[in-house]
Amino acid sequence: MSTDKSNEIAAPGSHAPPSRALVVGDGAFAMAMATSLARRGDTSVRILCHTTQVRDEINAGENKTYLPGYQVHSNITAYTNITEACDPDIQLVLLVIPTQFLRKFLVANLASLPVGCPIVVCAKGIEIGTAETPYEMMISELPGKYHKHFAVLAGPSFAKEIMDGEPTNVVVASQNSIVAKEVAQYVSDGSSLRAYVSDDVHGIEIAGAVKNVLAIASGALDGLNFGNNARAALVCRGLAELTRLAVATGSNGRSMAGLAGVGDLMLTCSSSLSRNFTVGKKLASGMSLEEISGGTNAVAEGVATAKSVRMLAGKLGVEMPICEAVYQCLYEGKAPKLALAELQARPLGAEGGLVAGE
């Protein structure tokens, strides 16, 4: 048995938790991460909310809008004013904002975020129009004094399972290895939530974005009453598409076999807890995108990301037939059953390796 411990950081839960943390966002995953931090003991967690309604709900003890049925931890306090939510003692910032709204927040608050602590983006998507990932948006919009503190958190992590204290593993990626390790130690609690580290920011962000589009396709398969063979094929061929795009943006491709790649893809393609999976299932039932969007207050990132993935893939010359089919079903009115038939009728080809993404 190997005894190489060169990749070890520290025993999970052994690192002192942040005394104060700021979570920007008031959705289910924001609440889950805030709760996980608050459970560490002495960590005071401040949540910056988008509306006064949700702020008041959280401070009253339950986020009824986005996470009903769960009591808010006593260490959590909600705000709507970033100046009130921030103070010099903040040691960790988590940005849990949908990708399409992240830039607006950064531009509006670039002088308000604390300096010198990790700023971790938890959004999974690609911006429409610019085709930038959340990490790239932070680089574009925030002053240089922040840049060495950026990180990304991704991986298979349904909010409700984190709230229930179920085992969850995530990955923290940063171009600064010290920051990646610090964030991993902050969020790992030694029991239920565990974080690994990576320097493959490009790959992990592309994986987190594309898997949401593929989850829509998987939900459509389920809605069409297809079985496990179809889903397994979708996951494998979807992983190939995801890997091709990741490699084209600068990833080495190896992260696709990890938590942000295979892990998150398997999760979102196999559960109705996934908002994107649910969108696909409703599409297959005949509902329009407008009808689906009007029936929920939660954001399914894959709907917008289908547009930006198509744009980025076209720009880089990357073939992504499954993601293209999802785009056509969402925005061009193509029936999911017809889209599947066309995918199955494509010219035959060779199956390549994971890193090659062929």
| Separation between Cα atoms, residue 24 and residue 90, nearest integer Å | 13
Q: What is the pTM of this model?
A: 0.92
Say whether pLDDT at 4 is over 50: no
Which backbone phi and psi does 39 adopt, to 5 degrees?
-70, -10
Partners of 193 in beta bridges: 168
- Scored b (16 or more CB within 10 A) or e, 251-263 reads bebebbebbbbbb
**Residue entry with tokens 């199956």:** 351
Q: In what order do the strands lie in the sheet with 76-79?
A: 76-79, 44-48, 20-24, 92-95, 119-121, 150-154, 168-173, 193-198
CB 196 within 8 A of CB 259: yes
More confident of the two residues 300 and 253: 253
pLDDT, tens only, 259-287: 999 999 999 999 989 999 999 999 999 99
In this prediction, what percent of the chain has a pLDDT beyond 90? 86
Q: Is 160 a catalytic residue?
A: no
pLDDT, tens only, 82-134: 999 998 899 999 999 999 999 999 999 988 999 999 999 999 999 999 999 99
| Separation between Cα atoms, residue 71 and residue 259, nearest integer Å | 29
pLDDT of residue 3: 44
Distant-in-sequence, close-in-space partners of 85: CB < 8 Å, separation ≥ 6: 22, 46, 47, 48, 79
Segment 54-69 shows an average pLDDT of 98
| Separation between Cα atoms, residue 14 and residue 190, nearest integer Å | 8
Active-site pick, 124, 148, 181, 211:
211
CA nearest 189: which of 160, 158, 172, 168?
Answer: 168
Q: Where are the alpha helices (DSSP H) in the chain?
A: 28-38, 52-60, 82-85, 99-109, 134-141, 144-147, 159-163, 177-187, 201-223, 228-248, 264-268, 275-284, 289-293, 301-316, 321-331, 336-344
In this prediction, what percent of the chain has a pLDDT beyond 70? 93
Distant-in-sequence, close-in-space partners of 51: CB < 8 Å, separation ≥ 6: 26, 80
Say whether pLDDT at 356 is over 60: no
Task: Give the 3-state secondary structure of residue 48.
Answer: strand
